[in-house]
Structure 1
Amino acid sequence: MPMFGIHSALRYEIVGEYASLFLSLLILVFMVLTKPRQSKAFSFLLWGNVTSIVATVLMIFIVEIASNTEYYSRSSFTILLIVFLVLYALILVDTFNYINLMSERRIQRRSVIVMIYILVAVIYFSGAIYQVAMKNFYYVRTDGIDLTHFTRYYCIAGIVCATICFAMCFQRRSTISRIVMRGIYIVIPLEFVVLFAQVLDRNSIFSAATYTLPFIAIYLLFHSNPYDEDTGCQNVGAMESRFITNNKMGRVFYLAYIEFPQLLGNSRNPNYETLTLELADVCRKIERISRKIHLYRVNYGTFIAIMEVKERSDAENYADQMRDILEDFYKTDIDHIHYFLGVGGDSRRFVAQGNKWTQFFMKYIKQKYMVDGQNVYIFANGSDFRAYDDIYNIEQTLADIRAKMDPDDDRILCYAQPIYSVRKESFRSAEALMRLCIDGRMIPPDEFIKIAETTGCIHSLTVIMMHKVCKAVEDLSLEYDFDALTINCSTADFVDKEFYKEIMDIIHTYNVDQKKIRLELTESMMADSYDAVKYNMNMLNMEGIQLYMDDFGTGYSNLERVLDVPVQTIKFDKSLLYKSIEDSRVEDIISYMIDTFKKNGFITLVEGVEDEKQKNYSINRGFDYIQGYHYAKPMPIENLVKYFKKK
């Protein structure tokens, strides 16, 4: 139906424009409601959709004027056409930018993209200026205005843009995900069909579909955050979006982590459907506490609630009501499903970096406070946040160290503790000890080694330490007389059957005698991967690398296993030393083991000697080497010159 009262003989069918406008408005509403992640790609999609709405409204207005010349003015009508062409150009730019964001390599070549922009823009607007000057865009007839040349012009521009986009994506298809390329293979050919159809059709205007439908497809495929059909909660993507948006806007909010440990990985439970309905009921009850609570499902059995409140008292009130709901669920459920409810401090304690805030609950709070078979409710305090900040900083630093793999990384500090030879009455060796430096603060091994092992960074630290120790040995060997420096290795190192090759490659990089490099490993390392560990030990031993059995006597000791591997030195743990001094029965066992090892050709070393009494005891029991604070504390490795004799 025309917008104006007077009918004209020339009419354009614009149902397609109205349908596209409706769909664009609908998608805009969905974008607002579902809160997708606010990425750079999404910003192009959002503004492209808004621009398409304005352009479609303008096109409908242009067509109505073309059908009713009573309201026609050449200058005003020409301005409307030019404005539409500008909007259409913006839509093409948004589309072009979005498609280029699909390839990281293409993003890195911004100069190429800018050159293409300039070239296409010059051609597009030069042609438009020429058409306006020559009055070729439209023709005024007695029955209306013929817009055929105008629609053909911008549709051809759309065809050119689609061709360029398709060519660039095809060229970079190895850097674009498979599902994205499948979408491109479907959507762009459909674009060609619709654009060519618009070029050939003189009686209908439906070009809005050429830019509205791609935006809709992109949103549905890559940005929509559908609600979980079982529990009615949004997913993690929506949760991250709300968190980041609130953080950017300076809103204070609290987080509640809800987990049902018995349900994790339990989607095949025979009571799955019943449990799902019960969980959905729990979710609705939690949401009904307040409109300021937004609940999200992380996985089956895990939920996170964002409570948009400023005061801690309000958060505690909401958390208490959540606990009551979870307690009712526990009591009424036939399986008595336990729950864990952890509530975090206000958002000012978090940073919108990665997923630090979810890790705080899942890695720290849960591990610290969760008790199997019990319901747990905890409101995290300041000390929890400070402790996790330290852990998080260590994790990020270790990840960066692993990514760079710089042998000279100054965040890895190489310390050493001299080892005293009882027979020679001098320091003949030293144990290399790793330290981590973050923002000028020294981190001891007991704080970062376990984190390095759980995050897969420990091998990188071993490699870097090996480089630093080899360099230190190379420098010390020029002027000082010593036997060797030892390096600690982890289980993750020795279970890799190629580990010995990597060690030897590093040693051969430096001008050192490989016999001056020794490795320490704990007996516990052989518990689960005995064959792989023994293989590396045998290969290293064949290369002339002496091996130490560290922490002997800490609970894994097995004489038969120790005798079965090529270890030259047995390093007794300090706990065994302390017990033997206090308990004569342990003393007898220690004396027997020392004699047994010596008879079988082993060297014995005791660590943790801190006073004169322990020193005399260790010497009287026949230990070959002694290590501990009584003789020397750990120091920067270059300070070993104070303990080794010059040649």
Structure 2
Amino acid sequence: MEFGISNYYIIGELITCWVSLLICTNIFLTFSLYDRRQRFFLYASSSTLFSSLLNIISVYLISHFDESLLVISTIVTTLYFLALLVCPFIMSCYVFDIAFSDPRKRRFLFSLAGIIQTIYMIVVLINIKTGWIFRYDTAEGYVRGPIKYITYILSALYGLTIIVTIIMQRKFMARRIFYVFMIYPFISLVFVGIQFFHPFVILTGVASFTSVLFAYITVQSYMIEVDYRSGLTRESRLRRRIAMRKNGGVFFVIEIEKTNILQANLDTKQFDHLLLQIGSIMLAYFPRDAYILPGNRFAAVGKTIEEVKKKSKSISTDFNSLSSLMLPYLPIRLECRSAALEFTKEGSDFESMIDVINNMLSKARTNNDYSLQICDEAVFLDMERKRQIFRILKRELTLESEKFQVWFQPIFSIKEKKFVYLEALSRLKDTELGDISPAEFVQVAENKGLVERLGFIAFEKVCKFIAENRDFVNTVSINFSVHQMLNPNIVENVLGTIKRFGLSPSNIVMEITESIFIDNYDFVMQNMLRLTEAGVKFYLDDFGTGYSNLTNVVALPFSTIKIDRSLVLMMEESEKGKRLFNDLVSTFKSGGFKILVEGVETNSQREHVEKAGADYIQGFLYSRPLPPQACVDLLRRYAD
């Protein structure tokens, strides 16, 4: 038998069985079963393997039909028809899974396809009695029934469903995926057509499997290195691309600002659509060299600095246009920072390059600079300085350190006409680099994973200061970072430290900014409630900067709202600014909050703040931040 059974040619089905088995084995061996979409391919390949084996057995039984084999022939052929359309059904569901991010829509389409598939299977099962699809006759053997073309019709229906789905959702899909699934049904159609006109050439399994193989190679394996939401290649390929550039090039990175706010305010479909549009912009300027990095950063490799400068301006313009286009549901304008680094074949170590890029972007954030940052000698000097600061922090972040200090700025009560408590502020003094500003060393701590340690050491120093100066110091407020508030043991750490120094929870005010709630609202809120019940107070810091949500302010246990200096300056600029400031203070006061205004430096500002109804003032008008002993001396003089 030359890969045939009587007049039937089954070479295609044999190859289908073998390759289906290889794909199933590959999915198992690569542990891809953890990926839901890989499981679709496992099920599709398994069903094709099963139906092709049944088809081969069925063809053999048809060719060697004997009355004694009537029952077994009917069972095998029935099983074949049951398995035949499982693969098109699964691949349709795979497309629904890719095309729709809304789980409800996916479930509806899965159910609809499932109903069609179930009806077909019922028809196949009752065919044993009706003979609508096929029957076995003792005289004629295998006989096709009146609805023998039902499998062709349903295959075409599944293919049409895939095409319609892809066209409807094309705006939300990467181009490559769109084109692959537009072609996908026509691949099956070619083999179905050959089978239709040449019934003795058995290609039903080939028709299903060739399409599956095409999708597996072009889409699923592609998704291993390509982010399907943006259509951009992942970091792994970027690393290889840079290593393989014979003539060097320019490494270009774009960082989208405030992606946490975007994610918090957009649903999954809207955010995925935003990423896809950003990906399309990147591909328009760097068709073969656009990439997505962790943290929703985007990268490209250009040839020259001048080319990257020009394209960077165009990309910024396109981002502005995209912001306007998506204005109905975009909570903030799309803003980005960018940096570029020229590299050679010899100097193309990816980790070192990322370090340089991160340093440039960090500096741009500190300086509020949105222009393209280009690497020069100053960048490398700045990196070396940050490395030195990191070494200093690792050495000095201890309770005993005299270089890592906590200074204090008194808070003045308008009603009581005296200082009522202090705010703690971290300082790094008298190091080998001299005095290092908080803006600089806190940024290094954040980038190097030391910010949580820094915060808790500062908190310990505050508790020690209160314990040693109980006669003059009653309450101190201290800022807690996102990293500290997301620590699972935050409540135990805070209350344990307070107890260790013999203090009461009422001695401590924890200041937090609203950005903390964007990532894990429920977790932070539960910990705030536990600490509040213990007696710790919470202040909302920096209200008026960045993202502010009144719902969070009202829902959470804040006792005081700290109004940022920027609103004080706004108040001075115009009557409108003054009215807005007064209304803001009035709104919070009516909600039962105390108001602390920071950054007050002139008597004019003080008068405006007092008239608005604020409770506390903090600023250089009353006192600059002071070292511990100088602060105690100031409080002693006021007490006297």
Q: TM-score range by the shorter chain?
A: 0.3 to 0.5
Where relative contact order (Cα < 8 A, 6+ residues apart) is larger, the structure is 1
Task: Calculate the TM-score normalised by the size of structure 1.
Answer: 0.45
Greater C-alpha Rg? 1
